[in-house]
Chains A and B, each alone.
Chain A
Amino acid sequence: MSKSTDTVDVSRYQALFRRRILIVLALAVAAGAAFLLDLATGPSRLGLDEMMRGLFTPDSVSPAVRVILWDVRLPYAVMAVLVGAALALAGTEMQTILNNALASPFTLGVSSAAAFGAALAIVLGLAVPGVTGPWAVSANAFVFAFGSVLLLQVLARSRGAGVETLTLFGIALVFTFNALVALLQFVASQEALQQLVFWSMGSLARTNWSKVQVLALILAVTVPFSLASAWQMTALRLGEDRARSFGVRLQRLRFLSLLRASLLAATAVAFVGTISFIGLVGPHIARLLVGEDHRFLLPASMVCGALILSLASVASKTLVPDVLLPVGVVTALVGIPFFMTLIFLKRPRA
């Protein structure tokens, strides 16, 4: 053990602080670049300059370009950023709150419940009363996803259960909903089955501006609360007793954090289907880069998520010429190499 009696140089902490801010900013620049690349990519072969002109001087481009920009490229690209950020943020909170590095926004059954809700709408035509048309599937998915997590929380609270129990309950829910979806698939018509399978592969092609607005609003509401709990979440990494001994109100922190994560994940999955990789790996990439001070980890995760999903969106448009692959399918293909590189670079140099 080191017997050194060096005195601590507080300015080193400030340097560390600045370096972490710089890393988050650099990630944000990269995410911005990926967003532009996403905007400049598509089967119509319109490049960035046309998109920029369409954006800033709409009169200088043809109506067809305007339609491609405003109805397709821009909403998809913005949705990619929002969904990526939402899932990674939800994943970080889940991993911290459940004290489980393998947790993701879907650990507690959010995506399985959403799939069940969607299946009810697609196969049996059951919908949330008052919701019709294109929103029916999303509304169903959301209600089931969010409802199931609320139910879990109430169960866990009433029994005074810890996070392990909560996670186990969540896993039980995953299997239950998966079985119910399989049951519905079994009785579904050929057409409904196809629709359901396509739904569960995450795709940005279901985006429209209203959905973008809803998700943006939910992020705008949750992110400030998330950031405001950053220190508490950092303390929680040191252990439950430790955090409580600092005065952190653990029950409340856990409840509100899971509420935020579920809201974000349920909305994302309701609008674009299951995109599984980002909520698990986005937080890990961010952790490797900035550590676990959540003041940096939370924003870094969001930016990583946005970056990965934007790149995945580009890949989904370019991997197979003239075919738009479901982005949920290519996300892992794009993210894994990046992730593996980081892990290898970060291995102890011993």
Chain B
Amino acid sequence: MTIPPETTLHLDALSVGYGARTVIDSLSLPPFRGGEITALIGPNAAGKTTLLRALAGLHPARGALRLGDADLLRLDGAAHAARVSYMPQALPQRVALTVFEATLSALRASPSARPDARAAQALVGETLDALGIGALAFRSLDQLSGGQRQLASLAQSVVRRPSVLLLDEPTSALDLNYQFRVMHLVQSIVRARGIIAVVVLHDVALACRWCQRIVILSDGQVVADGPPAEAITPDTLARVYSVHARVEACSRGAVQVMVDGILADGPPSCSGDVMPPRSS
């Protein structure tokens, strides 16, 4: 599915929770734009997965969530899935399916306009090639390493050609080579198809390198939102991660983060009580 480049994902007063417990409380953000990768970063339990699952229509939410003219909160699961593709953080265990079969099921299990068998197979082949995992196509998922399974999972999301690509920690188990490959692939499809990508990352450097926008989430609240150089500052890092960090531009201008120490529990942003950096 291709979408006009001006299509945006609007998120207004979105609230998400579990039972009586609200995790994301009335969150509003400037729209996500096509052709851009947004990194969603923040400490553990910040609500990143919860937010992403709500955007994917897998968890009920209140408020407003619109993709172009479509009200995503009112779409049924199949219609939602036709527009938005979500790659879960958790990977399946002990599944006797080959990577090719698993990726094929991403297309064939879908109730909405699915390609015929031959077209689907060709699409799966292309996708696995693009991810550089063609050699794994006929290996069984239960015989792959964690990183390989993560790539297989990414293939299942990408092959669906969504308008919005939501990836929950897609690089957490990958080596440097594949981190680059994955982010490069995401960048090229985002640019080529003008789609919207929201990617949960823990690696701030990776976020700064590949994403045009960074949203920092902490306790369900947005702490910072903007281009890497604006969002990633010693102050925001101190507030969110309680670390004492330097943010410097590298020789090529990319934002680099160096953590020098951990702030003792006190209220973040007070720079007095810094644990001494380890001498190197």
Stretch at the interface among A109-117, A119-127, A219-227, A234-242: A234-242
Instruction: Give the number of chain A interface residues (Cβ < 8 Å).
Output: 36
Evaluate whether A13 and B105 lie within 8 angstroms (CB atoms) in the complex, with A3-B177, A8-B124 already known. no
For window 301-336 of A, CB contacts with B under 8 Å fall at none
Q: Is the CB of A246 within 8 A of B160?
A: yes
Q: Is the CB of B95 within 8 A of A292?
A: yes
Q: Residue on A with the closest CB to B19?
A: A160
Report the Cα distance A44→B138, complex, angstroms: 52
A248 within 8 A of B: yes
* Chain B interface extent, by class: 35 or more
A6 within 8 A of B: yes
A50 within 8 A of B: no
Q: Is the CB of B78 within 8 A of A245?
A: no
Report the Cα distance A313→B82, complex, angstroms: 49
Query: Which residues from A are CB-within-8-Å of B98?
Result: 16, 291
Encoded as 1 (CB less than 8 Å from any A CB) or 0, chain B from 63 to 82 comes to 00000000000000111111
Report the Cα distance A8→B108, complex, angstroms: 19
Stretch at the interface among B28-36, B85-93, B219-227, B244-252: B85-93
Query: Which residues from B are CB-within-8-Å of A232?
Result: 109
Q: Residue on A with the closest CB to B53?
A: A241
Q: Is the CB of B92 within 8 A of A8?
A: no
**How close is A248's CB to chain B, nearest CB, in angstroms?**
5
A210 within 8 A of B: no
For window 236-280 of A, CB contacts with B under 8 Å fall at 237-239, 241-249
Q: Is the CB of A244 within 8 A of B81?
A: yes
How many residue pairs at the A-B interface have CB separations less than 8 Å?
138
A64 within 8 A of B: no
Query: Which residues from B are CB-within-8-Å of A244?
Result: 57-58, 77, 81
**How close is B135's CB to chain A, nearest CB, in angstroms?**
4
Partner pick for A238 among B53, B102, B111, B160, CB 8 A cutoff: B102
For window 1-28 of A, CB contacts with B under 8 Å fall at 1-10, 12-14, 16
Evaluate whether A245 and B177 lie within 8 angstroms (CB atoms) in the complex, with A8-B125, A8-B137 already known. no
B134 within 8 A of A: yes
Encoded as 1 (CB less than 8 Å from any B CB) or 0, chain A from 269 to 299 comes to 0000000000000000001000111000000
Q: Is the CB of B97 within 8 A of A293?
A: yes
A231 within 8 A of B: yes
B198 within 8 A of A: no
Name, among B96, B112, B122, B178, the residue most crowded by chain A CB atoms within 10 Å (CB to CB).
B96
B271 within 8 A of A: no
Name, among A232, A238, A245, A247, the residue most crowded by chain B CB atoms within 10 Å (CB to CB).
A245
Query: Which residues from B are CB-within-8-Å of A348?
Result: 143
B269 within 8 A of A: no
Q: Is the CB of A4 within 8 A of B88?
A: no
**How close is B92's CB to chain A, nearest CB, in angstroms?**
5
**How close is B220's CB to chain A, nearest CB, in angstroms?**
20
**At the interface, is chain A mostly helix, strand, loop or mixed?**
loop
Q: Is the CB of A293 within 8 A of B53?
A: no
Q: Residue on B with the closest CB to A250?
A: B77
Query: Which residues from B are CB-within-8-Å of A8?
Result: 100, 124-126, 128-129, 134, 137
Report the Cα distance A13→B122, complex, angstroms: 10
Encoded as 1 (CB less than 8 Å from any A CB) or 0, chain B from 97 to 117 comes to 110111011101111100000
Q: Is the CB of A245 within 8 A of B109?
A: no
B217 within 8 A of A: no
Report the Cα distance A36→B87, complex, angstroms: 50
B175 within 8 A of A: yes
**How close is A177's CB to chain B, nearest CB, in angstroms?**
31
Query: Which residues from A are CB-within-8-Å of B122?
Result: 10
Query: Which residues from B are CB-within-8-Å of A248?
Result: 77, 109-111
B44 within 8 A of A: no
Query: Which residues from A are CB-within-8-Å of B124?
Result: 8, 10, 13
**How close is B25's CB to chain A, nearest CB, in angstroms?**
22
Evaluate whether A242 and B138 lie within 8 angstroms (CB atoms) in the complex, with A3-B177, A247-B82, A291-B101 already known. no
Q: Is the CB of B132 within 8 A of A291?
A: no
Q: Is the CB of B106 within 8 A of A246?
A: yes
Query: Which residues from A are CB-within-8-Å of B104?
Result: 13
Report the Cα distance A76→B73, complex, angstroms: 55
Q: Is the CB of B134 within 8 A of A246?
A: no
Query: Which residues from A are CB-within-8-Å of B80?
Result: 247
- Provide 7 A-B residue pairs closer than 8 Å at the C-beta atoms, listed in order of the A residue: A1-B148, A5-B129, A8-B100, A10-B124, A16-B98, A241-B58, A242-B92
Interface positions of A (Cβ within 8 A of B): 1-10, 12-14, 16, 101, 231-232, 234-235, 237-239, 241-249, 287, 291-293, 348
7 tightest Cβ-Cβ pairs between the two chains A and B: A247-B81, A235-B109, A4-B135, A8-B125, A247-B78, A231-B109, A245-B86
